[in-house]
Amino acid sequence: MTLHLTTEDQALLAGDHGEAVSLAMRILVSAAELLSAQALIRVTSAHIDGCLYHGDGGVEFAEKLVAAGGQVAVPTTLNVGALDLLHPDTVRADPLKAAMARRQMDAYVSMGAEPTFTCAPYQIGHEPGLGEQVAWGESNAIAFANSVLGARTERYGDFLDACCALTGRAPLHGLHIEQNRQAKVVVDATNVPDALKDQDVFYPVLGTWLGLEVGREVSVIVGLPSTVTRDQLKALGASAASTGAVALFHVVGVTPEAPSLDAVMSKGGSVRQITLTADMVRRALRRLTTADAVERIDAVAVGSPHFSITEFEALLNLVRGRCMAVPFYACTARATLRELEERGDLLVLHEAGIKIVADTCVVVTPILRESGGVLMTNSGKFAHYGPSNTGYEVVYGSLEDCVESAVTGLVARTEEIWSW
């Protein structure tokens, strides 16, 4: 099985469209060979994860593309960076690292990518359609694009995402191919009480369990209500892509490729069936809290993936006229921030003591106070990455729990809904 390149692919590789495209094609071809892909396909958009600073190598790579004349070939959005460019005091980075982080963000903008700086481009108007071939990075965005939108992307990491954007191509493999999108695992959530399945707080827990259980396999979930929201699916996918390598899950009657169980069940090979039990759900719930016995919290963070405008509406209803006793961070896209500003909602949030973080978030860059302590969150992804990336212990709860706890500084959690 060898990689077949078209005449046009070969011209890009040979440098007919400049040195940056040639470099991008070399890496793309190496990746395609690593993946045993037989061809490259054209993609209609890219989402670049590579603008987040992890070290000087990422800056060097991006600036090498810029110096070689690199420009994106398809509409391209940018993931979070390591700085909040709208609120420069938010991030506690040392000046040298901050300067490098800024260079990395600027490099991708100068290559023609849109400065969206969000991990959830799908909620600010960038929504590829059903069956559309795209090349997206950022694990939650990948899961959302594949699962909720029915677009087709594989898990593109740093570098390859940029190479896809500069060439407008991706290796034809994995989830780009129809038959690989069929489910090998069926999860039956029928037994979970409807009262729990109606709550946002259930979905990060379900995702945490799903990622641990299925790893990289495509799954299909039955027994979720048809009223499940996009924010709930976003939270499910983000958690599953944190504890596992989940890039696609189907929900029967909800996600576009799963009008029925039959439509997405793998036709060849064995299919594993799992009935979701109370014990499985409670074990996943416990995993999201590392500071179980604490009474006080030191901070709250919401917005991983970035808070949507509907999530802000829920937050506004909870905090209006109240005052937070501990730092409360809501991470979001600059586009969503602009919308809040236009609606006049920003003042209400500021008065309640909510700190808006744009372009970045609290687990990818130093924002939380250095003193450390206990971070409460309603995000499965924050709960997963918080301890290793911030040094804070974490407590998981609903958005309502987070607000009630932030008002007093004391942990308040609704436990009853988890018993059945």
Partner 1 sequence: MLIPGNAEGGLLRLQAPISLWGGVDPGSGVVIDPRHPDHGASITGTVLAMPGAIGSSSSSAIMLELLREGTAPAAVLMAHSDAILALGVVVSIELGYPACPVLEVELSALDGVPEGALLRITSEGQVLRL
Establish if 14 lies at the interface with partner 1 (CB under 8 A). Answer: no
Establish if 305 lies at the interface with partner 1 (CB under 8 A). Answer: no
Establish if 322 lies at the interface with partner 1 (CB under 8 A). Answer: no
Output 217 or 400, the one with its CB closest to partner 1.
217
Counting residues that bind partner 1 (by CB under 8 A) gives 46
Establish if 311 lies at the interface with partner 1 (CB under 8 A). Answer: no
Q: Which of 44, 180, 229, 389 binds partner 1 (CB under 8 A)?
A: 389
**Least separation in angstroms between CB 337 and partner 1:** 24
- The pair of three-digit structure tokens given for residue 235, joined into one six-digit string: 């939270």
Q: Which of 5, 35, 39, 86 binds partner 1 (CB under 8 A)?
A: 35
34-39 long-range Cβ contacts below 8 angstroms, 24+ apart? 35/154, 35/171, 35/173, 35/174, 36/1, 36/173, 37/3, 37/171, 37/172, 37/173, 38/1, 38/2, 38/3, 38/4, 38/172, 39/3, 39/4, 39/5, 39/6, 39/172
Which part of the chain contacts partner 1 (CB under 8 A), choosing from 13-21, 26-34, 93-101, 189-197?
26-34
Output 256 or 387, the one with its CB closest to partner 1.
387
Establish if 34 lies at the interface with partner 1 (CB under 8 A). Answer: yes
CA pair distance 393, 297, nearest whole angstrom: 9
84-90 long-range Cβ contacts below 8 angstroms, 24+ apart? 84/357, 84/358, 84/359, 84/360, 84/367, 85/117, 85/334, 85/358, 85/359, 86/334, 86/337, 86/358, 86/359, 87/356, 87/357, 87/358, 90/355, 90/357, 90/360, 90/367
Establish if 97 lies at the interface with partner 1 (CB under 8 A). Answer: no
**Least separation in angstroms between CB 184 and partner 1:** 14
Establish if 138 lies at the interface with partner 1 (CB under 8 A). Answer: yes
Establish if 52 lies at the interface with partner 1 (CB under 8 A). Answer: yes
CA pair distance 149, 257, nearest whole angstrom: 9
Q: Which of 5, 18, 64, 180 binds partner 1 (CB under 8 A)?
A: 64
Establish if 100 lies at the interface with partner 1 (CB under 8 A). Answer: no
Contacts of 396 (CB under 8 A, 6+ apart): 204, 205, 285, 288, 289, 376, 377, 378, 380, 383
Q: How would you class 16 by CB atoms within 10 Å of its CB: exposed for 0-12, middle for 13-18, buried for 19 or more?
A: exposed
Q: Which of 245, 265, 325, 417 binds partner 1 (CB under 8 A)?
A: 245
Q: Which of 204, 207, 244, 327 binds partner 1 (CB under 8 A)?
A: 244
Stretch 158-177: interaction string toward partner 1, x if CB under 8 A: xxxx----------------
**Least separation in angstroms between CB 158 and partner 1:** 4
**Least separation in angstroms between CB 389 and partner 1:** 5
Establish if 242 lies at the interface with partner 1 (CB under 8 A). Answer: yes
Interaction residues for partner 1, span 350-369 (CB under 8 A): 363
Interaction residues for partner 1, span 180-239 (CB under 8 A): 211, 215-216
Output 24 or 349, the one with its CB closest to partner 1.
24
Establish if 15 lies at the interface with partner 1 (CB under 8 A). Answer: no
Edge-to-edge order in the sheet of strand 219-222 = 249-251, 219-222, 185-188, 272-275
Establish if 283 lies at the interface with partner 1 (CB under 8 A). Answer: no
CB crowding 165-201: b at 16 or more within 10 Å, else e: bbbbbbbbbbbbeeeebbbebbbebeebeeebbebbb
Output 169 or 384, the one with its CB closest to partner 1.
384
Phi-psi region of 117 (alpha: psi -120 to 50; beta: other; left: phi over 0): left
130 phi, psi to nearest 5 deg: -60, 125
CA pair distance 296, 411, nearest whole angstrom: 6
Which part of the chain contacts partner 1 (CB under 8 A), choosing from 38-46, 59-67, 248-256, 313-321?
59-67
**Least separation in angstroms between CB 30 and partner 1:** 5
Q: Are 238 and 224 in contact (CB under 8 A)?
A: no
**Least separation in angstroms between CB 201 and partner 1:** 21
Share in percent of the chain as helix, strand, coil (round to 5): 40, 15, 45
**Least separation in angstroms between CB 290 and partner 1:** 7
Which positions touch partner 1 (CB under 8 A)? 23, 26-27, 30-31, 34-35, 49-50, 52, 54-58, 60-61, 64, 137-139, 142, 154-161, 211, 215-216, 241-245, 287, 290, 363, 384-385, 387-389
